Amino acid sequence: MEQEGSQPAAEQQDPAFAAIVATVERLDELGIWAEDGRAVVEPASTFSWS
Amino acid sequence: MPEEPLHFQTIRQVGERIRRRELSPVELTTAIIDRSERLDGPLNAFITITREQALAQARSAEKAILAGHDFGPLHGIPISLKDLYQTVGVKTTGGSKILADWVPTTDATVTRRLSLAGAIVIGKNNLHEFAFGATNENPHYGPSRNPWNRERITGGSSGGSAAAVAAGLGYASMGSDTGGSIRLPAAFCGIVGVKPTYGLVSRAGVLPLSWSLDHCGPLTRTVEDAALMLNAIIGHDHADPASTSRVTPDLTTALDGKVQGLRVGVLREYLGENVNAEVASAVRTAARDLERLGTRVEEVSVPEVAYGDGASIGILYGEAAAIHERWLKTHRDQYGADVLERLSQGERMTATQYLKGQRARRVLVDRFKRLFEQIDVLISPTVPILAPTIPESRGNAARAQLLGFTRLFNVLGLPTLSVPCGFSTTGLPIGLQVAGRPFDDITILRVAYAYERQAGWHSHRPAV
- What is the per-residue pLDDT across B370-425, written as a single tens digit (0 to 9) for each? 999 999 999 999 999 999 999 999 988 888 899 999 999 999 999 999 999 999 99
| B175 in Cβ contact with B277 (< 8 Å) | no
**Using CA atoms, how far apart are residues B388 and B391, in angstroms rounded to an integer?**
8
Q: What is the pTM of this model?
A: 0.96
pLDDT of residue A12: 65
If one counts the domains in chain A, the total is 1
Tell me if A20 is assigned to some domain.
yes
pLDDT of residue A13: 76
**Using CA atoms, how far apart are residues B11 and B80, in angstroms rounded to an integer?**
13
Residue A10: which domain range?
1-32
Tell me if A37 is assigned to some domain.
no
| B402 in Cβ contact with B135 (< 8 Å) | yes
Q: Would you give the distance in Å from CA B427 to the centre of its chain? A: 22
Tell me if A24 is assigned to some domain.
yes
Domain-by-domain residue ranges, chain B?
A: 6-459
The one catalytic residue among B161, B181, B380, B393: B181
* 8 Å CB contact of B199 and A45: no
| B323 in Cβ contact with B214 (< 8 Å) | no
Q: How many CB pairs under 8 A join A and B?
A: 92
> Across the interface, which of B244, B309, B359 has its CB nearest the CB of A43?
B359
Q: Which 8-state DSSP code applies to residue B384?
A: S
Residues of chain A in contact with residue B242, where contact means CB-CB under 8 angstroms, are 48, 50
Q: What is the mean pLDDT of residues A17-35?
A: 96
3-state secondary structure of B417: strand
Give this complex's ipTM.
0.89
* Torsion angle (degrees, nearest 10) of CA B105, B108, B111, B117: 110
Q: Among this protein's residues, is B176 annotated catalytic?
A: no
From first CA to last CA, the distance across chain B in angstroms is 21
Q: Which 8-state DSSP code applies to residue B103?
A: -
Residue B283 identity (one-letter amino acid): V
Residue B118 identity (one-letter amino acid): G
Closest chain B CA to residue A5: B348
3-state secondary structure of B271: coil
**Using CA atoms, how far apart are residues B143 and B387, in angstroms rounded to an integer?**
14
The shortest C-alpha distance from B396 to chain A (Å) reads: 10
Residues of chain B in contact with residue A49, where contact means CB-CB under 8 angstroms, are 197-199, 244, 413, 438-439
* 8 Å CB contact of A29 and B307: yes
CATH number at B6-459: 3.90.1300.10
**Using CA atoms, how far apart are residues B353 and B336, in angstroms rounded to an integer?**
25
pLDDT beyond 60 at A3: no
pLDDT of residue A1: 40
Q: Among this protein's residues, is B124 annotated catalytic?
A: no
| B56 in Cβ contact with B89 (< 8 Å) | no
**Using CA atoms, how far apart are residues B110 and B93, in angstroms rounded to an integer?**
17
3-state secondary structure of B215: strand
Closest chain A CA to residue B244: A50
pLDDT cut 90: percent of chain A above it: 52
| B220 in Cβ contact with B232 (< 8 Å) | no
Tell me if A22 is assigned to some domain.
yes
DSSP secondary structure, B25-88, as one string: HHHHHHHHHHHHHHHHHHH--EEEE-HHHHHHHHHHHHHHHHTT----TTTT-EEEEETTB-BT
Instruction: Spell out the per-residue pLDDT of chain B, length 464, in tens.
Output: 568 999 999 999 999 999 999 999 999 999 999 999 999 999 999 999 999 999 999 999 999 999 999 999 999 999 999 999 999 999 999 999 999 999 999 999 999 999 999 999 999 999 999 999 999 999 999 999 999 999 999 999 999 999 999 999 999 999 999 999 999 999 999 999 999 999 999 999 999 999 999 999 999 999 999 999 999 999 999 999 999 999 888 999 889 989 999 999 999 999 998 999 999 999 999 999 999 999 999 999 999 999 999 999 999 999 999 999 999 999 999 999 999 999 999 999 999 999 999 999 999 999 999 999 999 999 999 999 999 999 999 988 888 899 999 999 999 999 999 999 999 999 999 999 999 999 999 999 999 999 999 999 999 999 98
The shortest C-alpha distance from A27 to chain B (Å) reads: 6
3-state secondary structure of A46: coil
Q: What is the mean pLDDT of chain A?
A: 81
* Torsion angle (degrees, nearest 10) of CA B358, B268, B405, B288: 140
Starting at the edge strand found earlier in the chain, the sheet holding B263-267 runs B46-49, B120-125, B78-82, B172-177, B215-220, B192-195, B416-423, B429-436, B377-381, B263-267, B296-300
Neighbouring residues of B174: CB distance < 8 A, sequence distance ≥ 6: B79, B80, B81, B82, B85, B110, B114, B161, B216, B217, B218, B219, B229, B233
Tell me if A45 is assigned to some domain.
no
Tell me if A43 is assigned to some domain.
no
**Using CA atoms, how far apart are residues B59 and A14, in angstroms rounded to an integer?**
56
**Using CA atoms, how far apart are residues B196 and B156, in angstroms rounded to an integer?**
17
Tell me if A5 is assigned to some domain.
yes
Tell me if A8 is assigned to some domain.
yes
Where does the pLDDT of residue A7 fall: very low under 50, low under 70, confident under 90, or very high at 90 and above? low
The DSSP bridge pattern shows strands B416-423 and B192-195 to be antiparallel
Q: Among this protein's residues, is B329 annotated catalytic?
A: no
Q: Report the candidate in B195, B205, B190 with the shortest Cα–Cα distance to residue B175.
A: B195
pLDDT of residue A10: 62
pLDDT cut 70: percent of chain A above it: 68
pLDDT of residue A4: 46
Residue B138 identity (one-letter amino acid): N
pLDDT of residue A44: 77
- Which pairs count as long-range contacts for A40-43, CB under 8 Å and 24+ apart, including other chains? A41/B359, A41/B362, A41/B363, A42/B359, A42/B362, A43/B355, A43/B358, A43/B359, A43/B361, A43/B362
The shortest C-alpha distance from B151 to chain A (Å) reads: 27
The shortest C-alpha distance from A3 to chain B (Å) reads: 13
Residues of chain A in contact with residue B355, where contact means CB-CB under 8 angstroms, are 43, 45
Residues of A with CB under 8 A from a CB of B: 7, 10, 14, 16-17, 20-21, 23-32, 39, 41-45, 47-50
Residue B46 phi, psi (nearest 5) = -115, 145
The DSSP bridge pattern shows strands B296-300 and B149-153 to be unpaired
* 8 Å CB contact of A25 and B356: yes
The one catalytic residue among B24, B36, B80, B82: B82
